Structure 1
Amino acid sequence: MLTGIHVVCVGGDARMLEVIKQLSEMDAIVTLIGFDNLQSQFSGVGRANWTEDALKGAHAVILPVVGTDDAGKISAVFSTEELFWTDEHAKQVPEGAAVYTGMAKPFLKNSCLKHQIRLVEILERDDVAIYNSIPTAEGAVMMAIQHTDIMIHGSNCIVLGLGRTGFTLARTLQGLRAKVKVGVRREADYARATEMGFQPFYTRNLLDHVTDVDLLFNTIPTMIITAQIIAKLPYNAVIIDLASAPGGTDFRFAERRGVKALLAPGLPGIVAPKSAGRILANCLSQLILEDSHQRGNV
């Protein structure tokens, strides 16, 4: 239980609702900021304005999956108010408290470093990333179905990257009886792809494998689907880029050539916000509980 622990939730999307629900059920003192348009009511949960002292007395601060943008703006889909993380807010975070987010951009990282605030990025955790890869894979398949006129079954698919998301996606496509090639960089990944029944190749040789591809999925957050690669794709091929913005695709050249290319980060929160929220809620509640035990608050 989190009795006596004060958690401030600032902004977020539908995933945050599951986090709020679980924290409340664990008897935490929960304060919501940036939820003024939220219709749902949570018993025992308070609301506050985003003032300079809004974080005073908090044991934990939870920001959206992407903590802030490059200018410090905090996404808050349930509010018309614009929320910005500032030095004044950072100064009010109590000593020993932590700021939790999915992934932090340099703005938030620098602010927490400057003010000696412990920043926890939960999407960096293997367990959360693996769980999150499930709705990501389902969302990628959904997009493939929506934007093609062929079946996944029997289609020629390439998945670039055999990390946590790439592995789950390749296995999902294989389960739908697609012909799956996997682009990898490491010998160990090549061996694992072979063992799993995929057709592996090294990403440096990508140009040799795209001439007959129907669906090209990318999970690598660096420019890999270049103009040279796109020039060799069939016109009816579809690129679905799952890497963090700006992705790993030359979208300008894809549009110029008439190849459909879609940037699709953050799919869990779009296609399965309830399930994705539960994944975050389980991790956050456990981390806050562990921190509280260490501080002797519980």
Structure 2
Amino acid sequence: MLTGFHVAVIGGDARQIEIIRRLHEWDAQVYLAGFDQLNGSFTECIDLDFEGPHVEMLDAIILPISGTDENGCADGIFTNRSLCLQVDWLKKTPVHCQIYSGIANDTLQKIAEDADRKLIPLMNRDDIAIYNSIPTVEGTIMMAIQHTDFTIHGSNVSILGLGRVGMSLARAFDQLGAKVTVGVRSTAGAARVHEMGLEYMDMKDLDTYDMNFDYLINTVPAPVVDASIIKKLPSHALILDLASKPGGTDFRYAEKRGIKAILLPGLPGLVAPKTAGKIVASVICKELQEIDRKVEE
């Protein structure tokens, strides 16, 4: 239980709704910023006053999965309010206050460092990333079906990256009957793909391969699907880019070539926010209990 804990949830999407519910179940006092358009759905919560005494009580601050932008501001789909982190008010929080974010850019890391508060990028955790790959895979399959007029079964699929999401995608599309080729960066990755019974490409030399793929799915947060790759794709190909913004695809060139390319960051929050929120909430609640033990010691 989190009785006596004070937690602020700042901005985010529908996943945050599930996090708020779970915090209530664990008996935490929750403060909200960026949820004013929910029409009083959480009457037990308190509106967070960034300049008020609430800040001095906070044990944790929960930011959106997307973190903040380059100005340190968090997105919130339930508000038009500006939700920007400031070092001055973060310094007013207790020393043990932790900041949770899905991902953390340089700006957010600098803000946390200047405020001398611990920042926890949740998507760096293997457990969350692996659990999160489940709704990511389901959402990718849904988008693949919606945006094409042919079946996944029998199609040629390229998946760039063999990380936690890439591996789950490769298995799922293989089980659906697609011919799967995985882009890897290491000999270990190539060995793993071979063990899975799939084909692999060396991502350092992507432009040397025949790119006759019906689906090209990118998981790498770097500019890997450039013009040299896109120009080799068949005109009916669909590019699904799952990397965080701005993705790893040259969307301008894809449009010029008439190839449909869709950026899909935060896919779990779009297709299964309840499940995705529960995954994050469970980890945060356990982490907060660890703070309690440290404080008591």
Distance 1:221 1:210, change over 3 A: farther
What aligned pairs does 1:53-64 form with structure 2 within 5 A after superposition? 54-64=54-64
SS, match of residue 55 in structure 2: coil
- CA distances 1:90-118 after superposition (whole Å, capped 9, x unpaired): 22222111111111121111011011111
Matched residue type, 2:104? A
SS, match of residue 216 in structure 2: strand
- CA distances 1:247-287 after superposition (whole Å, capped 9, x unpaired): 11111111111111111111011111001000111111111
Which residue is equivalent to 1:100?
Answer: 100
Matched residue type, 1:198? L
Q: Contact 1:55–1:61 at 8 Å: present in 2 too?
A: no
What aligned pairs does 1:172-211 form with structure 2 within 5 A after superposition? 172-211=172-211
Structure 1 portions without partners, runs of 5+: none
Matched residue type, 2:190? Y
Q: Contact 1:9–1:31 at 8 Å: present in 2 too?
A: yes
Which residue is equivalent to 1:284?
Answer: 284
SS, match of residue 37 in structure 2: coil
Between 19-28 and 78-87, the greater mean CA deviation after superposition:
78-87
Which residue is equivalent to 1:236?
Answer: 236
- CA distances 1:6-64 after superposition (whole Å, capped 9, x unpaired): 11111111101111111111111111222111136346332333436552211111111
Matched residue type, 1:22? R
Q: Contact 1:50–1:83 at 8 Å: present in 2 too?
A: no
User: How many aligned residue pairs are there?
Assistant: 297
* Identical pairs, percent: 46
Matched residue type, 2:89? H
What aligned pairs does 1:12-91 form with structure 2 within 5 A after superposition? 12-39=12-39, 41-42=41-42, 44-51=44-51, 54-91=54-91
What aligned pairs does 1:123-272 form with structure 2 within 5 A after superposition? 123-272=123-272
Q: What is the alpha-carbon distance in structure 2 between the residues aligned to residue 78 and residue 28 of structure 1? A: 22
Which residue is equivalent to 2:117?
Answer: 117
Q: What is the alpha-carbon distance in structure 1 between the residues aligned to residue 106 and residue 158 of structure 2? A: 32
TM-score in terms of structure 1 length: 0.95
- CA distances 1:227-248 after superposition (whole Å, capped 9, x unpaired): 1111111111111111111111
Distance 1:52 1:68, change over 3 A: farther
Q: Contact 2:87–2:114 at 8 Å: present in 1 too?
A: no
Q: What is the alpha-carbon distance in structure 1 between the residues aligned to residue 179 and residue 255 of structure 2? A: 26
TM-score in terms of structure 2 length: 0.95
Matched residue type, 2:195? E
Give RMSD over aligned pairs.
Answer: 1.6
SS, match of residue 180 in structure 1: strand
Q: Which of structure 1's runs of 4+ aligned residues deviate more than 6 A?
A: none
Q: What is the alpha-carbon distance in structure 2 between the residues aligned to residue 162 and residue 292 of structure 1? A: 37
Between 195-204 and 286-295, the greater mean CA deviation after superposition:
195-204
Distance 1:205 1:48, change over 3 A: closer
Matched residue type, 2:142? M
